[in-house]
Structure 1
Amino acid sequence: MPSAQTAAERIAELRSEIDAHNYRYYVLDEPSVPDAEYDRLFKELRALEAEHPELVTPESPTQRVGGEALAAFGQVRHEVPMLSLGNAFEEQDLTDFDRRAREGLDLPAGDLFGDGAELEYSCEPKLDGLAVSLLYENGHLVRGATRGDGSTGEDISANVRTVRNIPLKLHGSGWPAVLEVRGEIYMPKAGFEALNARQLESGGKPFANPRNAAAGSLRQLDSKITASRPLELCAYGVGRSDGELADTHIGILQALKGWGLPISRELKLARGLAECREYFQAMGEKRDALPYEIDGVVFKVNSIAQQRELGFRAREPRWAIAHKFPAREEITELLGVEFQVGRTGAITPVARLKPVQVAGVTVSNATLHNMDEVARLGVMIGDTVIVRRAGDVIPQILGIIAERRPADARAVAVPESCPVCGSAVERTQLIKRSKGRETVSEGSIYRCVGRLACQAQLKQAIIHFVSRRAMDIDGLGDKIVEQLVDKELIRSPADLYCLTFEQVVALEGFAEVSSRNLLKSIEASRTPTLARFIYALGIPDVGEETAKLLARALGSLERVARALPDVLVYLPDVGLEVAHEIHSFFQDAHNQQVIEQLLKRGVQLQEEGDIHPEFAACATLAGLIDKLDIPFIARTGAQRLADRFGSLEAIIGADWLDLRQVERLNEKAARALRDYFDVPENAQRARDVEAQLRDFGMHWQSERKSVEGLPLAGQTWVLTGTLEAMSRDEAKVQLEALGAKVSGSVSARTSCVVAGPGAGSKLAKANELGLKVLDEPAFLEQLAKLQA
């Protein structure tokens, strides 16, 4: 170091030079110095920092070696959810995705004379790693998190700081004050092979594949272990951003590259579906030559404005899709079939295979789904089978090689008794309901009838009950639940609220602090929202969104538990089969007992109230007649009956002379109506439904009015474009709290459209229909008035 230069100046110079070399090596793929020169600079910097520890900063290249081990990961709530992508496995899936995107943007469709308007797509390989979120504030990396369930992830800040191609400080200038970068952390093939070689040398267990190795490395509580692993990042987008970014996806990625973040070197712009197909084929051909594993290609609509216009459905964007490569297949021997018992008692056959490598992963088990699938495949124990990883993830048996069947091959037989509890195994029945008739047939699922007396069902039911999106009891992992059930400390979810400190501390892996923390977590779970509680109960076919709908619409557990199937179908997206599942669950005596115990043991449901104004007086007499599915009585016929008689009792009691006076009601329909109501059970069913509609306030004679505090009850609002003061999800929550229904499409029934920057076809349609339109400032002003 020149004498005139201070240690601080030389350290700053070395850091700048090393950062520049890292950028050229990892981001530009243009290394400018040999490894030996890089190592010399790094060694000099480390020596200077050792002499002057007061000059060490978190952003120094030397600070990627990991710190003290953590006791546990903290949780990070994603301000912008990290959604998963829809998958395309066939070429038609990609074609359908492109069609839906163009239709959603109201682009001209093709005809005999042309292919219509084409969309621009960004194309990049789908890396097989772990999705992460990196938060930069004023250019400095302040937090790293896993994707988790999309809403909440784990804080892995200490670990991501050890990944060498992640800049601890952004390069250049112009980046937003707050920037959340999203990307995939993966392990290159060469690094994976070297890591496994070291594992074997040290007597450790090798990793199954690079993805597992990357995920396991990032979730180490000791960041020094992470630092020793050959991990890399590839940025694929942004989440939260407090500042202006480019108006295209590729433009944003190029900006990230300029700020020092590595992006895919295979990134390409495609114009139209044909170029997307060409890119997919090209990547498939070079897949094995790439230095990292990929399992497909991701296509994203390139225009950010068009992305916003297309929006999201359920938990995935409408503007992006992952086109997976065809599954890779191998052949092996079926050694046996075991039967596993799930949460609902379903007995599922699992194939035990002679281990075989499929797409780089050792496969020794494969799903057989159900006995119908076993019959379809014609598979027998001892067969040579074709195995594939569906979507490169789940191993499954594709077929058999019949000519290789041995003479001693054995048929796959369903056990007569449950392999876990010994209870009887019964085949499910499928009940198809239509036009007043029920058709019963055998289902493909076999179930253990032991219910919660079966430890397998009990364990799975409690694992679901305590999960993050249900009752959210932290510290109750699968292994702990298994211990509690095996030791017979809990026989139902309600028993969790009777656990004592002495019982918990005696469990394997528990000490005083962890025991008290678990009991605190159980105590904190006593006040779930109604929606969480319904979801936690594990009702068949009732997922998180359906649970939210039941809670929001009916307002109380008592109403949900009493609701008849014919009433539940008045709720959007609740079909008759799901309605019967919900009703059957709450009619079951054992389930009633568990719910009663939970409430007696201190579970207090939050956010209960009246039925939502949207569903007040939502039923009509014609609608009720139509929903009874009387043969030959369609919707128009039901409306004519309602217009003629005016009440359910009048229709039930109508004689032939009365029915003949109903306009355009033919003799066949009149006879069907009379035959239906001549059955006492049918007449009573209709009366029961009407009585409950009246009781719930859903009856056509119920009062339809805005409940106090819900000034927008009965109104339908549409959000389009970008909102700057809040996200569209936040705006939706506030509007729903005021009683409004928030729709994704504009129609003549729309009450108001809120249009932010980038609003497109929805705004144009609103103007065409002469609807009320508010910009964001006017919307915020109206919200303030309504909430005052």
Structure 2
Amino acid sequence: MTEQQQNPEVDTDLRRQWNDLAEQVRHHRDLYYNDQPDIPDADFDALFRQLQELEAEHPELAVPDSPTMEVGAPAVVSSTFANVEHLERMMSLDNVFDDEELAEWLARTPSQTYLTELKIDGLSLALVYRDGVLERAATRGDGRVGEDVTANAKVIDDIPHELTGTEEFPVPALVEVRGEVFIAVEDFAEVNELRQAEGGKPFANPRNAAAGSLRQKNPADVRKRRLRMVCHGIGAREGFTPATQHEAYTALAAWGLPVSPYIEQVHSPEAVREKVAYWADHRHDAVFEMDGLVVKVDSYAEQRALGSTSRAPRWAIAYKYPPEEVTTQLVDIQVGVGRTGRITPFAIMEPVFVAGSTVSMATLHNQTEVQRKGVLIGDTVVIRKAGEIIPEVLGPVADKRDGSEREFIFPTLCPSCGTRLAPQKEGDADWRCPNTRSCPAQLSARLTYLAGRGAFDIEALGEKGAQDLIRSGILVDESGLFDLTAEDLLASKVYTTKAGTVNASGEKLLANLESAKQVDLWRVIVALSIRHVGPTAARALAARYRSLPALIDAPVDDIADTDGVGTIIAESFRAWFEVDWHRQIVDRWAAAGVTMADDSEDLAEQTLEGLTVVVTGSLEGFTRDGAKEAILARGGKASGSVSKKTSYVVVGENAGSKETKARDLGLPILDEAGFVRLLETGSPG
């Protein structure tokens, strides 16, 4: 029984209202930390604020066991991890949602120096280092007690097992480091693809993927998930007394711990608001998902003077950006056919504004996911859209059902060609159209894919053009693509004029096709649309085997031993080449002059082998993709974030926080001319 329930002075209706709100907040908070959320973060924030406002109007309701006074959520009773007590309590953050609320916070929290840093949408973790050695890693839990996940944390590359001291920052006797574990946006799709290839269900978003990954029983499975970490604070410490938060971050970086490259010191409320506005427009530039900007008073003396509430420090605030998850009505469910024959259900919804645009369609992945999520046609559903990621339906809001909803019946025949659908192999969650060669939808999708920037980069061949080439009978499959002539295009509607001659787009297509014959081998491998073989695996295979014939002849076990490939990809590669018409594609492309080998004389010298290079800002002679490609082609690693492991940071115009971070870490910084010399010689000098 809560203190409220024992207090007869609390009005019965108010008590009932408070109990209902508190129960909802606890329920959804527990799902967020220990399971799968079933409402968007924005809806939870609204519930939480409603409870706060009720308690502000009626202080007698604000009892110590209110959810507004608590941090995180207790670990689940059935957890396989031991509970451990944090050396110093981990707290939460209070939120503001508009300029007026931020201005009020700044007015009551004056400071000469603030820090702004991105609010990572990940899983909080506390690391304890004693005499520089990692002793323990624990989740936040309820702020006092978390789960011991030390073995799993030790396989995360960003987390050092031992700290390295410097003259300025010697390793302290004890330091408790707080941070956030996440999966980078660029890794999320591949992590989900691998999970599905192994028979698992796709994660709803990177945050859930990170939380689920860190709690796996086997550290070897955790390693596969590409978890990363960014440190954002310290708790208990002995032998280390920094004057400011910024000094603490500099020390963490010096010890070898990962610190966010997006941290900036600002010196006025106006500068804080400028950063809030900047990141509102650039929230998808970060390597991780973020949902707000955290503002902190930099001075530890000022932090101590301001103090904390029962759940959050008064010296920090999180400015939350508009939601990327919203609710809307699911009007219908239809299916699409992908380039590998995969049948993907997608939702037709009442248009809704989310993450900067109005959407009316969202993915449902596969029929198993439709059943697992329990969505019915007519449901109110939660959808998510982050950056350029296709919107997806996360699940229904079951409480809003009125009985008119109906079940989705998955089709038995391909909607494009009428072929009977089936799983490709036993145990597959996805159903596919087996008419891979002639299904118009598959062929169109494959043509569009191979024309993309990650493969042949054929600018004049888009989705509309691909569909036209198929409908007009010009192409039966992609094998004839590089044999196309001006005469062939006369049967097209997209590539001809009204007078019946080849138009400018047609001429451009033919010119693009001729240029595309001389791309790197890895791009040709990507263009074949082999299941599971993306750019990363294609690069690794091309670098090792140097020619497609050599790769085709290689044993599966040998292919699987290639770094970054593995058995699943190797078996998929072998199975693809066992199909006769697949071989015909390669043979006809080769006969047309398409690259089938990387000539060692033409390959760029591996000047950057073993080096990690970060490019930030705008360069005159390179696009962002061009700079990345130049680094990768010379054997280097092109990273999106600055850390102590970074070899060089290339700085162009409007570089921003990455340059600041590099200077704080004392990393070598190059201008564009230095970058060119580095590419040519392996040295900027």
TM-score category, normalised to shorter length? 0.3 to 0.5
Report the TM-score when normalising by structure 2.
0.47
For CA contacts below 8 A with separation 6 or more, give which structure has more relative contact order: 2
Greater Rg, structure 1 or structure 2? 1
